[in-house]
Chains A and B, each alone.
Chain A
């Protein structure tokens, strides 16, 4: 093969070693300890990463003076092939903070401001300046925030995910319009997407509906390739994501009832009572996971069906209700993951697709023997959440193993960020795991990386985890925010440049709605403030009168190690309120016949 003897442009992520004024050049060391020399060109420029809805702060005039040793930054430029090697000339530099030791996204309210911008974008995209009316909701949203005129589909999951987003935005900002978006969306799901099966005493959720004027056509089973003519577990799981996050705020007992009846569907029909875990699909007619009609999906289990319960709704349901039933299901979920997913004799990736008897499935549709990097990271993140509740050594060991292996394989030490899908095994004569489709980086997988390493650092204390969390968060905040049109990009190229083709060009689609980017804002702020930078965090709730059991509002922001956070102050409708439990983080709500807004201040405590 011919040598690479042509010029090309790319990104380098790393830490400044030093600037040499004589040759107007600086050296930069990557996260995995490789050094590059970067020459400034006549038109090199720079900026400091800005948040959504905030102006870009150019710093081209000061950039040379900002190159203090140890400072992290991204530089995009051209590798010129000359003299038998390469000379790299910077086109632009991106600094993740204004000061040498500063990461803008570690400010007390960075993610609060980001989630506000996201929520405003999606409210405007879906409902314009009009009243919030989910009749007008559409799954597809263009990159600019417009709705295509010929799209009529409303998918249950995408509504639910956006409801999650609005509910979470309310929790972080207290903006009533976001709560209205969450509650109207929840009501719409109940009215239009919910099927109550009184024979079985279960609830399941339609895949979606097509709306044409006043006529609506129910879409009974999934119509997507992987799940065609089946009820996939993940659709039912994500149908609960938005309503349950709304429940944490309102305590609406109808939501709790829906959740219980949906969980009865899981336990009655998806659960493998003999061998454990949940099946990935059931037949929409017979509700049987072993139905011949399921074809490739017959008798299968996977990450989504076994593990996605936890982050999508179960942890939030447990936090909001305090019910032991959900705590037990969480523990069982993580025990199952810790038991069956490690596969380190065969691959550095977890095994996430199984036959009924837990033997690995290497042939399933497009997934074959491939690993989704975001799933590995998501497992590490959620194991550490559960570790706060049940500190089992196997949870910690498994999370640490993922954290040890993934950065070198699924991460990109050259440019930063996390890749997408890879072959789980090396082929003959291969030294690097192959990309299954491309080397692009998806927004939701960045979320998993950021949250995994933030909580790993927050709970276990290793500084290396904080370094990776910062690098991941810097890549996301420097390259994924769409400062022109709003919200975040679906995919960027390996070098961080947005990839705007096909469905990946959209801001709303079957795959992207308003879940991951909002969840990232929420939990990144929670972990950063309460576990890392040790700053207070404010959250908002608006309980219905007599909504929560015993009139007790639970405000723990996530499952965190006992004693790491305390409830410092409470306000009810703006007035200081004293009937709360600092350690349990519960508020005994006032007896009232109207809804009140409850604002709480959470404070980190314990070891730094």
Chain B
């Protein structure tokens, strides 16, 4: 799975491309978990993810938990309505800060 990563001004921008489901979630998870370091600030931009299955949701939760254990911070940006809705229905939404744009996520990071 393609995952674009750039470090800009102390914030790591991670942008997966394509669906995150049972097939792609393990690779996505592996690529991203290594980027979560102590005190890292991460913007996970999901604008190029159209669909996320329960395995994908679990991967994102795992990233959140890893970040929390390392005092890092993760913000989700540009999440489409379908994914937002399934995160809400499953109760996962409460764990995250969601931002409508990259600019907003940078502001959120302080």
Contact = CB atoms under 8 A, between A and B. Distances in A.
Interface of A: 195-200, 206, 209, 217-220, 284-287, 293
Contacts of A196: 54
Given A206-B91, A217-B91, A285 B54 contact: no
Interface stretch (B34-42, B57-65, B99-107): B57-65
A199 B58 CA distance: 11
Contact of A285 (B61, B91, B94): B61
B78 interface: no
B56 to A, nearest CB: 8
Given A197-B54, A198-B54, A199-B21, A286 B91 contact: no
B54 A199 contact: yes
B90 A218 contact: yes
Contacts of A217: 91, 94
Contacts of B61: 284-285
Contact of A220 (B53, B55, B62, B91): B91
30 contacts: A195-B54, A195-B90, A196-B54, A197-B54, A197-B55, A198-B53, A198-B54, A199-B21, A199-B22, A199-B25, A199-B55, A200-B22, A200-B55, A206-B91, A209-B91, A217-B91, A217-B94, A218-B90, A219-B91, A220-B90, A220-B91, A220-B92, A285-B58, A285-B61, A285-B62, A285-B65, A286-B58, A286-B62, A287-B58, A293-B65
Contacts of A209: 91
Interface residues of B, dominant DSSP: helix
A197 B94 CA distance: 19
Interface in B63-100: 65, 90-92, 94
Contacts of B92: 220
Contacts of B58: 285-287
A209 B88 CA distance: 13
- Most A CB contacts (10 A, CB to CB) among B22, B53, B54 go to B54
Contacts of A293: 65
Interface in B15-34: 21-22, 25
A199 B65 contact: no
A310 B80 CA distance: 44
Contacts of A197: 54-55
B62 A218 contact: no
A284 B61 CA distance: 9
A199 B90 CA distance: 15
A94 B16 CA distance: 73
A200 B58 CA distance: 12
A209 B53 CA distance: 22
A121 to B, nearest CB: 32
A206 B90 CA distance: 9
Contacts of B25: 199
Contacts of B22: 199-200
A206 B94 CA distance: 14
Contacts of B54: 195-200
B62 to A, nearest CB: 5
Nearest to B63: A285
Given A285-B62, A286-B62, 18 more contacts: A197-B54, A198-B53, A198-B54, A199-B22, A199-B25, A199-B53, A199-B55, A209-B91, A217-B91, A217-B94, A218-B90, A218-B91, A218-B94, A219-B91, A220-B90, A285-B61, A285-B65, A287-B58
A218 B87 CA distance: 11
Nearest to A287: B58
Contacts of B62: 285-286
A74 to B, nearest CB: 49
A196 B54 CA distance: 8
Contacts of B21: 199
Contacts of A200: 22, 54-55
Contacts of A206: 91
A206 B89 CA distance: 12
B61 to A, nearest CB: 5
Nearest to B94: A217
- Most A CB contacts (10 A, CB to CB) among B61, B91, B92, B94 go to B91
A220 B96 CA distance: 14
A119 B92 CA distance: 35
Nearest to B22: A199
B57 to A, nearest CB: 9
A197 B65 CA distance: 20
5 nearest CB pairs, A to B: A218-B91, A199-B22, A199-B55, A197-B54, A285-B61
A178 to B, nearest CB: 31
